[in-house]
Structure 1
Amino acid sequence: MTTGADSTCSGAEATARQHEIAILVPCFNEEFTIGQTVSAFREALPPATVYVYDNNSTDRTIEVARAAGAVVRSEARQGKGNVVRRMFADIDADVFVLVDGDATYEARAAPRMVRRAVDENLDFVNGARVSHSVEAYRPGHRFGNYVLTAIVRSLFGKQFTDMLSGYKVFSRRYVKSFPAMSRGFEIETELTVHALELRMPSAEEFTVYGERPSGSVSKLSTFRDGTRILRLIFDLVRNERPLEFFGLVGVALILVAVALAVPLVETYFETGLVPRLPTAVLSVGLIIVGFLSFLAGLILDVVATMRSEMKRLAYLSYPPVSVGRSSRVAERGRPAPF
């Protein structure tokens, strides 16, 4: 008789025989946790290759990761976003598991997430954190995640509840068509919005989130990184929703102009004079700028649509995750288009 754990392992091994799996671990000064992280994921997904990308660590992160059995590489540009961009460019596989090296994420959930991605032909599986420990998930981080996730849900789609989780599974066509632009921890927001913008087949799996081991320190700053994420959301709305963004700016300017002009119009009809000429000039100027803003939104909306179409075509140029290893072998034998 096979247990549930045995069936999960056998299912993961069967999946790995047909699909090459890469576990990506960005790291910065995680000497106390990286060995445990690598060992846990190698045990959970034995056929997978664990890649640790060191980001200028000053401790023994590289030595510990290599001793635990990981393939260790380096990225000199500081910031998690820079590391993720480098990993996505360097590594080729059928399924990618992205996880932080702080030993807080549930390695046993990886086979379940990978198998769901393959069985349901998903391009993106988000590992939503479940934790009742205050030390593991501080109230400030929890509240910030709730607010930022709520903003993204209202603007781009309501599919995910934990946007800032560092535990995600991707298909090859997601990874190779993702135009990473972020430098730091805001990369999780960009990863989530990319899946929502292209309406990729996606899902969310709840995973246990634990405390950092003793001696390990979080690199996340609640206010600094929260501000960066807000700025990224602002930029994404401006770039991906230009008509709504610049249209709202235009409407706001026109409303201010009307509010300033109403007393002037009333005075004009009563006396036939315009005593506050600068206010009148300001009102006219605001109306002109408001209409120009709306016009800019219309033009940029066409550009944004073209960009979205190009990203969609790049995404569709790769086969779905369910096809697996055979598609990659065939693709290698295909002649270059240029």
Structure 2
Amino acid sequence: MKLSVIIPVYNEKGTIKEVINKVKAVRVEKEIIVVDDCSSDGTQELLKKEEGIKVLYHPQNMGKGAAVRSGLRHIRGDLVIIQDADLEYEPEDYPQLIKPILEGSANVVYGSRFKKKGEFFSALYYWANKFLTLVTNILYNSMLSDMETCYKVFKAEVIRDIEIESNRFNFEPEITAKVLKRGYKILEVPISYRGRGRKMGKKIAFKDGLEALYCLIKYRLLN
């Protein structure tokens, strides 16, 4: 099966090349789709020099959810994974992430940072994620440990069947809510993680947590 790797990127000049090289090094059949969300720090110039990848450019900054949506329009693989561009997640985890789907035991797999000891930079991010995951489990009768993880793997037909509306970081709770409401079980596998803070470029803010909470409640109530 071919894996489509979607990499949303915004102002990640310092890490994007290394991320792409790490993804290329993973020994699975794959295509790499990078969606630049109107970077202004020189990221675009680096991407134009890359070979063996497909790059899409947004004319204006729209957010992670919008970037993922753009990437999904161009996938040709059987499986899809979202890869952040900031080196917090290790592409070397791909084989264990796609293994349950290849074996036929899952249609959706999340990489959990809590099933394997990771380096969380901020206690606030840690507990906010724990809280949002708890809310997800209560509202959707699930048993997740890491709803906000970047590493989400889907069979292509599953993700194509879901309309993504969110433009920003509330893509994570939206896609989780819609997957669970459709009756898919999400299998989690442990992954490596190396967190970073806002001074290191992390872009998630407190308001994103509030929007995620609203999103979880909204999609629980909607048909």
Query: TM-score when scaled to structure 1?
Result: 0.61
Residue correspondence of structure 1 range 246-265 to structure 2 within 5 A: none
Partner of 1:21: 3
Partner of 2:203: 219
* 1:66 to 1:45, Cα distance in 2 relative to 1, 3 A: farther
Residue 8 of structure 2 contacts residue 64 of structure 2 at CA under 8 Å; is this kept in 1? yes
Kindly indicate whether residue 119 of structure 2 is the aligned counterpart of residue 133 of structure 1. yes
Residue 100 of structure 1 contacts residue 166 of structure 1 at CA under 8 Å; is this kept in 2? yes
**Residue identity in the other structure for 2:18:** Q
Kindly indicate whether residue 32 of structure 2 is the aligned counterpart of residue 50 of structure 1. yes
* 1:139 to 1:85, Cα distance in 2 relative to 1, 3 A: same
Q: CA deviation at 1:212?
A: 4.5
Q: CA deviation at 1:58?
A: 0.2
Higher helix share: 1
Residue 178 of structure 2 contacts residue 219 of structure 2 at CA under 8 Å; is this kept in 1? no
Kindly indicate whether residue 23 of structure 2 is the aligned counterpart of residue 41 of structure 1. yes
Q: Greater CA deviation, 230-239 or 34-43?
A: 230-239
Query: TM-score when scaled to structure 2?
Result: 0.90
**Bigger radius of gyration, 1 or 2?**
1
Answer 1 or 2: higher relative contact order, Cα 8 Å, separation at least 6. 2
Give per-residue Cα distances to partners, 1:44-77, cap 9 Å, x unaligned.
1353111110001001212323444432112345
Which segments of structure 1 move beyond 4 Å, counting only runs of 4 or more?
none
Residue correspondence of structure 1 range 1-338 to structure 2 within 5 A: 19-45=1-27, 47-69=29-51, 70-75=53-58, 76=60, 78-129=62-113, 130-135=116-121, 138-212=122-196, 216-221=200-205, 223-239=206-222, 304=223
Report SS of the residue matched to 1:113: helix
* 1:134 to 1:197, Cα distance in 2 relative to 1, 3 A: closer
Residue 77 of structure 1 contacts residue 83 of structure 1 at CA under 8 Å; is this kept in 2? no
Residue 8 of structure 2 contacts residue 34 of structure 2 at CA under 8 Å; is this kept in 1? yes
Equivalent-residue separation in structure 2 for 1:40 and 1:210 (angstroms): 15
Equivalent-residue separation in structure 1 for 2:34 and 2:155 (angstroms): 19
**Residue identity in the other structure for 1:39:** N
Residue 121 of structure 1 contacts residue 201 of structure 1 at CA under 8 Å; is this kept in 2? no
**Residue identity in the other structure for 1:57:** S
C-alpha RMSD of matched pairs (Å): 2.1
Equivalent-residue separation in structure 1 for 2:150 and 2:110 (angstroms): 9
Residue 22 of structure 1 contacts residue 95 of structure 1 at CA under 8 Å; is this kept in 2? yes
Residue 38 of structure 2 contacts residue 57 of structure 2 at CA under 8 Å; is this kept in 1? yes
* 1:46 to 1:216, Cα distance in 2 relative to 1, 3 A: farther
Count of matched residue positions in the alignment of Structure 1 and Structure 2? 219
Partner of 1:316: none
Give per-residue Cα distances to partners, 1:210-233, cap 9 Å, x unaligned.
1449x8411111x11011111112
Give per-residue Cα distances to partners, 1:99-137, cap 9 Å, x unaligned.
1111110211101211221112522110111444342xx
Give per-residue Cα distances to partners, 1:224-277, cap 9 Å, x unaligned.
1011111112211221xxxxxxxxxxxxxxxxxxxxxxxxxxxxxxxxxxxxxx
Report SS of the residue matched to 2:212: helix
- Structure 1 spans left out of the alignment, 5+ residues: 1-18, 240-303, 305-338
Equivalent-residue separation in structure 2 for 1:163 and 1:29 (angstroms): 25
Residue 24 of structure 1 contacts residue 99 of structure 1 at CA under 8 Å; is this kept in 2? yes
